[in-house]
Amino acid sequence: MSDDLLARLDRLEAELALRRLANEYCVAADHRDLELWRAVWAPDAVWATGPAPERIFTGVAAICAAVQWQWRTYPLMQHGTVNHVVDLDAVAQGVATGRSDVVLHVRLADDTWVTGGGTYLDEYRRHDGRWRITRRTVHRPFEVGPLPGWVPEPKAE
């Protein structure tokens, strides 16, 4: 196989792996799968969920603690990541960047739902033969509370 063909194959495999990684992030968060959640992050990763220092988590242990706080706070979350575009210019060096949009629905403890949306700006690195997130910066341009007159469904007896 020619070097050019190998490089093209590496780019295709990287793009597929990075798309899967974006999906695994959502699946892990929404299904409360701590093992999968841990696997999407590089050991030294940074998860910046907002600009304030207390919203920036560094290292897998801190990132796992942050998502576990979310799980306790929000009984149900549903992420939808779309428009995932990756830049593979440095894929041969084992790094890439990406951008995706997200729509998020969360149920609060009082059974009201809040919808939000934003953009993820990502940095990725191949670590131990697998692509992982090294930095995810979350930009949240909107959050929408419950619609006026919304009433939660009664709980089943």
pLDDT 10s digits, 12-25: 999 999 999 999 99
Q: Average pLDDT, stretch 25-51?
A: 97
Domain boundaries, given as residue ranges, for the chain: 3-144
Spelled out in words, what is the top-level CATH class assigned to the domain 3-144?
A: alpha beta
* Residue 147 in this model has a pLDDT that exceeds 70: no
Question: How far is the first Cα of the chain from the last one, in angstroms, to the nearest whole number?
Answer: 64
- Please answer whether residues 81 and 23 qualify as being in contact, where contact means their C-beta atoms are separated by less than 8 angstroms: yes
Taking a C-beta distance cutoff of 8 angstroms, is the pair 53, 130 a contact?
no
Question: Is the model's pLDDT at 151 over the cut of 80?
Answer: no
